[in-house]
A and B are shown apart, each in its own frame.
Chain A
Amino acid sequence: MTLILQALTITPTAGTPLFAPLTLTIRPDTVTTLMGPSGVGKSTLLDAIGGHLAPGFRLSGQILLNGRDVTHLPAESRRIGLMFQDAALFPHLSVGDNLAFALPPSLKGRPARRAAVEDALTRAGLAGFYARDPATLSGGQRARAALMRTLLTRPEALLLDEPFARLDATLRADLRGFTFAHARAQSIPVLLVTHDEADALAANGPVIAL
């Protein structure tokens, strides 16, 4: 599994391109880190790759995932997972139902789906949290639940938009390890956007400055 960006540029409707054309190959089993000052367009680039580019931007170039051209696919068809700073758990669903939301429909039968969610919760250290209100979780718990939710969809690539930025230093290291371990276990390409040198160091992969 490989994520390839080919001569990608993003241009605001009225303005100049945010960055020079970007060509990049992100291999499975590696975490590629994207760094750069605020406002340079890192998050916008992630949005573009994930298929969430806001109106008012134009995209040129190509995005290839495992040989598929996903450049013009809607987000839901790309199979690219996306993680945000604030986890973005659905506030109206329980923690377990948040995860169930992500399960592919091909997994049939209520007991089987329930078991898959419980299993994921256990792996995230959240055993017994199925019925919990996401608003009552700690920051670390939320981030882990969100990651498990993303991984349950079996994405072919994972984009991380400063997912650890809101956590304190110890928690941050824990979660980083947890995230990278799970991503590697599924052997998918990971693109991490961060401000934090420590994140890049821990990612232990190519670092690109934008």
Chain B
Amino acid sequence: MRLPILASLTLCLSTPAFAAPTLADWQQTLDAARGQTVYWNAWGGDQRTNAFIEWVNSQTEQLYGVKVEQVKLTDTAEAVTRVISEKAAGETEQGSVDLIWINGPNFLAMKEQGLLHGPFVADLPNAKFLDLSATSPASVDFTTPVDGMESPWRLAKFVFSYDSARVSDLPETMAGFTDWAAAHPGRLTHPNPANFIGATFLKQALIELAPDAAALQLPVTDASFATQTAPLWAWYDALRPNLWRGGEAFPENESVQQQMLNDGEVDIAMAFDPASTAAAIAQGSLPETARVFTPKAGSIGNISFVAIPFNAAHKAGAQVVANFLLDPATQAHMQDITVLGSFSVLDPAKLDVPAQATFDALPTAPALPTLDSLGPTLLEPHASWMTKLTEAWAKRYTR
């Protein structure tokens, strides 16, 4: 009995990630998944995302007999810690985390410590709609090669939002934010850089201000960090005194900041989701006159992934969910402004005509930008930059 298992294991490991999965394999996964409940650990701070995950649950339960239960996190790192404690306690098979909404440093940490299951992406039937060429956004996460260890599900692009009824003289560059803040003291803030969006605000500025932006694509060193961030700190030191509460306090995350925009406590909010402003208007949590803008030179974009921990109790179910997320119908539903409004991660060139038509037929809204109007997409720096940037910011500005 032992030999064939070993043989198939070797076979699995030696199968190139891009080999097309056979239908039979997938059928096995589907069979194994039936009846499983997938615990999807996902940041729970966005009600639309939570509602979307509930919708996924209803769909996968109906289609595949797989239930999805969202474990709402305040921070993705909570799930990472949970897997680590489980590993520490010797729990290698019945782990409590089946699927994680992940990217960037958390992905890097889990990949480096061997905490992930996979590669599995190429085995998903719907992976054929993805552009998986080596340099495509779906293959590189913060410059870290994905290697099939996480599967894309939504596209993110960094945007600012504002109330057009109150503000008209918007900064056109990140450098311009200093003058804008000086002209409007106390009306600008950003989430605490310990938060993903807060860190992204700093990265957005870093990409524009760094003497050599290409250096950001390599793992950070002390020397490169010192050189590349020097202009950033000068910029920030000039900006900070004019921030909300003198730059002594920061909103916890972008949702809090959006509420501050709604309350009129600040004039600018930021998000990693171009559709969030339009959706917030529809839900009554931003004024009708709220709009979106990006710096002229473009803004950071990345893809959000789902990954499966090495010890997940329901790996088959998790793969079925990951595959369902890549279904063109799912992606179109997700891009619907009334649902989530997140841009699709699929390669338009790989979609057939009916699928393309579904996307074209989606409703629009005055505050919903087109992807083109948001300017170029800037690449995320290597994940190590974000960690170091956050730490350095904390050291410099936390008393």
Q: Do A and B touch (CB < 8 Å)?
A: no
